[in-house]
Amino acid sequence: MAYKHFILTCAGTGCESNKGDEIYRGLIEEAEKQGVKDDVQIVKTGCFGFCEAGPIIKVLPEDSFYVGVKPEDTREIIAEQVIKGREVKRLLYKGDESKKKTMAVEDIEFYQKQFRVVLRNCGVINPESIDEYIAREGYVGLEKSSLSGRLSSSSKR
Per-residue pLDDT, 108: 55
> Distance between alpha carbon 93 and the CA centroid of its chain, in Å?
14
Per-residue pLDDT, 53: 86
Q: Which own/partner pairs from 80-89 qualify as long-range (CB within 8 Å, at least 24 positions apart)? A: 81/5, 82/4, 82/5, 82/7, 82/31, 82/34, 82/36, 82/39, 82/40, 83/34, 83/36, 87/59, 87/62, 88/64
Per-residue pLDDT, 125: 63
Provide the CB-side half-sphere exposure for 24 (13 A, CA).
Answer: 18
Per-residue pLDDT, 73: 97
92 CB contacts (<8 Å, ≥6 apart)?
A: 64, 65, 66, 67, 102
Per-residue pLDDT, 141: 73
Residue 37: strand, helix, or coil = coil
Which of 72, 19, 114, 81 lies closest to 122 in space, CA to CA?
114
Specify the CATH number of the domain 5-126.
Answer: 3.40.30.10
Task: Report the b/e string of 106-132 with b at 16+ CB within 10 A.
Answer: eebeebeeeeeeeeebbbebbbeeeeb
Q: Quick check: bond before 71 cis, omega within 30? A: no
Helix (H) or strand (E) holding 131: helix 130-135
Per-residue pLDDT, 95: 64
Per-residue pLDDT, 27: 97
Provide the CB-side half-sphere exposure for 94 (13 A, CA).
Answer: 10
Which residue numbers in the chain have pLDDT < 70?
1, 95-128, 132-133, 136-137, 146-157
pTM (whole model) above 0.85: no
Per-residue pLDDT, 143: 75
